Structure 1
Amino acid sequence: MSQKLSIIIPAYNEENTIKFILDKIKKVELIENVTKEIVIVDDCSSDNSLAVFNEYKVANSDLDIVILTHSTNKGKGAALHSGISKATGDILVVQDADLEYDPKEYNVLLNPILEGHADVVYGSRFMGGKPHRILFFWHSIGNKFLTFLSNMFTNLNLTDMETCYKMFRTEIIKSVHLQEKRFGFEPEVTAKIAKIKGIRIYEVGISYYGRTFEDGKKISWKDGFRAIYCIFKYAIK
């Protein structure tokens, strides 16, 4: 019996890009006959995102699409909590609604899990020879600093803790009690899975097509300080 991949998409005001990312997901042929479940969580978008999601679902009835909605804007982490709780796949991956990450690379992340080596796989923007858009120097320094700080407390040797592309065996991520509502999800989930006895965490190189703030990028320096707080908070819990 083939396994299923649940693709969790937290979305807030992404009407301009969501069709493109869903088309990319649709075109991906997963290895070993793995099937796809797409779980979109609309975090109370103020634009036309929800209508676009519903139109896409109707127009693509061959896809297994689940649409969840929040009545108030709660944040990326909260959207992920909702999506994870409803996922029915054997394996789960986080996918942003923008175009920074390429769904064609799901197979790169899937491989260590399907071969029985990994329980969790992170896609690193800072390893391997794949293309990366050149953007903000201080953002890259900030990401590397947060990864370094996280590694100090988790005793992992990750190169990209803040990456969007995190893939889990679903039973593992469902067993983790997650609290962070915004971008603190990344350090929190990393700290908590690192504490699971016998957990097998792998990292693979991925490409990165970063956005500018003009393109709609939402994370800010305030989220960086929150990430530092979360690293300390969940290290001692």
Structure 2
Amino acid sequence: MVTADKRRSGKGDVEGGDKYSVLLPTYNERENLPLIVWLLVKYFGESGYLYEIIIIDDGSPDGTLEVAKQLEKIYGSDKILLRPRAKKLGLGTAYVHGMQHATGNFVIIMDADLSHHPKFIPEFIRKQKEGNFDVVSGTRYAGNGGVYGWDLKRKVISRGANFITQVLLRPGASDLTGSFRLYRKEVLQKLVERCVSKGYVFQMEMIVRARQLNYSIGEVPISFVDRVYGESKLGGNEIVSFLKGLLTLFATT
């Protein structure tokens, strides 16, 4: 429902023409997808902002795409856009693929495994409007942000990776490895063009490149909750790739 205040507030709200494209890359998320989509529809509906949800499934063998097709029928093809790919091609290319189909002037990237709660999206939008930021990033490491459901090992790895990144790259943001963000679409396009990383390093490089290009970055504290259904995709190979990517960024920025 759009309140009278929202209707009067002009630029940035429904009558101001802003639209938010949510990019949801998926791989084996058939249990999580219905709930994350329902929550997105709920919070966008309550806030009154124009939106679309772009689901980029990378050939999930568990039937994620079939679930997405059912959601498209339920919520409508104007709200749920299916842009699948034949196989798993990586997170960075999934965003590029989704962005090509985004009609919003702002793009939100988030995980589909319920670790990022859509209730924070209205806060991202408010923050962006308050500071006219180019990027708004969710942070687990500032304010009342936090991580829930991780064992000590994963917390140490995440904190350690973030600390090393801060020391080496001095990016001016408190959470480099997070992947819950809002971008101006044209800013996201420019950043993606410059990024060379794949996988988990991609998120970190996006913030580093944003600072290089003097884009403004706001932060919103978020609660990160470990996935309820399915298996984490973070393993030893990803950690090695992260360290290699970090050193590459250090050498080239």
How big is each residue's C-alpha offset from its partner over 1:51-96, in whole Å with a ceiling of 9 and x where there is no partner? 1111110121175221111112112222122112322211111121
TM-score by length of 2: 0.84
Q: What runs of 5+ residues in structure 1 fail to find an aligned partner?
A: none
SS at match of 1:193: helix
Percent identity between matched residues is 23
Q: Measure how far apart 1:26 and its partner are.
A: 0.6
Call closer, same or farther: CA 1:145–1:157 in 2, change over 3 Å.
Answer: farther
Contact 1:36 1:64 in 2 (8 A): yes
* Aligned mates of 2:61, 2:47 — CA distance in 1: 39
C-alpha distance 130-154 of structure 1, shift in aligned 2 (>3 A)? closer
> Which residue is equivalent to 2:198?
181
Which structure has the larger Rg?
2
Secondary structure in structure 2 of the residue aligned to 1:128:
coil
For residues 219 and 228 of structure 1, the distance between their equivalents in structure 2, rounded to whole angstroms, comes to 13
Gaps of 5+ in 2: 1-15
- Specify which of 161, 164, 171 is matched with residue 156 of structure 1: 171
CA RMSD of aligned residues (A): 2.2
Residue 70 (structure 2) aligned to one of 55, 62, 68: 55
Q: Counterparts of 1:14 and 1:52 in 2: how far apart (Å)?
A: 9
Q: What residue is the counterpart of 2:60 in the other structure?
A: 45
Partner of 1:206: 222
1:221 aligned residue: 236
Between the aligned partners of 1:117 and 1:235, the Cα distance in structure 2 is: 29
Q: Which residue is equivalent to 2:211?
A: 194
Q: What is the Cα deviation at residue 159 of structure 1?
A: 2.5
Which structure features the higher share of helix residues?
A: 2
Say which of 129, 137, 142 aligns to 1:122. Answer: 137
In 1: Cα distance, 2:17 partner to 2:47 partner: 7
**Between Structure 1 and Structure 2, how many residues are aligned?**
235
Cα deviation, 1:27-72, whole Å, max 9, x if unaligned, reads 0137874311111100111111111111110121175221111112
Match of 1:109 among 96, 102, 124: 124
